[in-house]
A and B are shown apart, each in its own frame.
Chain A
Amino acid sequence: MQNTWPYINGAYGVTTIFLVAAAWLTFARYRRALARLRQAETQ
């Protein structure tokens, strides 16, 4: 039977990269937006 692990690793790799990148970008934007709002409200 064909070795299917490169395909499995590829599928899990793409999924993990997407989830980590999307979560990181979202978290960074959320933190930045909150910090800017606090700064603007204190001005």
Chain B
Amino acid sequence: MNENVLSRAVPAKTSGWLHYFANPGRFLRFVQPILPWAAGVSLILTLAGLVWGYQFAPADWEQGDAARIMYVHVPAAWVAMSGYAMLAVCSLFSIVWRHPLADIAAEEIGPIGAGFTFVCLVSGSLWGKPMWGAYWVWDARLTSVLVLFFLYLGHIALIRAFDNKTHGYRAAAILALAGAINLPIIVYSVQWWNTLHQGNTISLAGGAKIYMTMLYPLLISTLGFYLSFLTMVCARVAAAVCERKTASALLAAAERG
């Protein structure tokens, strides 16, 4: 009876599709030829976005040159939040479907996501000093992003805290899923509370409230950051898969004598 219920829980087609892409060997074959191209394109886009923002984009009429920090701060913030969303999705896949690749991906997303969150916090702090007169204020947006950074650190520590790797994956997946509640809090913090941090300049529903000469370098920089993040995560996952295959091959060789 229970078997019937479980087999109906995931439609066969979806399950097959998920299992097809969750195969570590297939992932390696798919990703390896793409990685050099992805690295090249992400390097070009990131460099173009940063140089355009630093040197050629116009200064803001109100904030002056300090607004140039936007071209590193905003993309880093978006990648930090998207990275955590990916972490939560991988954790869901890990808990529901027990995909080994989802566990590896969650383990490898953590350090890179934490790095982007750190960049977001530091660049935001360096933007805050000349604009607000303080490096840090306990504002809802800043505090919720700091919580995101701690969630990343907690996930990194928890996933490596157990001798039995599977226990670490389960515990970290639960933390990642529970922590996902912080994402809408970060996004809507500037609407729900009175914050020193400015409101959303760009939104899917409301469009962009900045001039095109500032929007283009921001979008290029954002594309570059996203592609850099995905390339680094894919390379780390591929490296982790190779490390596991190496361990298996060495174990098999040792057993053969």
Contacts and interface: CB of A to CB of B under 8 A. Distances in A.
Interface residues of A, number: 28
Nearest to A28: B239
Given A11-B73, A43-B253, A2 B130 contact: yes
B239 A7 contact: no
12 contacts: A4-B64, A7-B69, A11-B69, A11-B122, A12-B50, A12-B69, A14-B119, A14-B122, A18-B116, A29-B236, A32-B239, A37-B245
Contact of A41 (B116, B127, B130, B249): B249
Contacts of B243: 33, 36-37
Contacts of B245: 37, 40
A36 to B, nearest CB: 5
A19 B250 contact: no
Nearest to B70: A11
A10 B126 contact: yes
Given A11-B73, A12-B50, A33-B239, A40 B246 contact: yes
B115 A18 contact: yes
A2 B126 CA distance: 13
B242 to A, nearest CB: 4
Which of B35, B119, B253 has the largest number of chain A CB atoms within 10 A? Answer: B119
Contact of B72 (A1, A11, A22, A32): A11
Interface string A5-27: 10110111011101100110011
B65 A4 contact: yes
A40 B236 contact: no
A16 B239 CA distance: 23
Given A15-B72, A33-B243, A40-B249, 6 more contacts: A8-B126, A14-B119, A15-B123, A30-B238, A43-B249, A43-B253
B127 A22 contact: no
A41 B116 CA distance: 36
A36 B27 CA distance: 19
A5 B245 CA distance: 49
Contacts of A14: 119, 122-123, 126
B172 interface: no
**6 nearest interchain CB pairs?**
A33-B242, A11-B123, A33-B239, A40-B249, A4-B66, A15-B72
B65 A26 contact: no
B242 A8 contact: no
A8 B66 contact: yes
B190 to A, nearest CB: 20
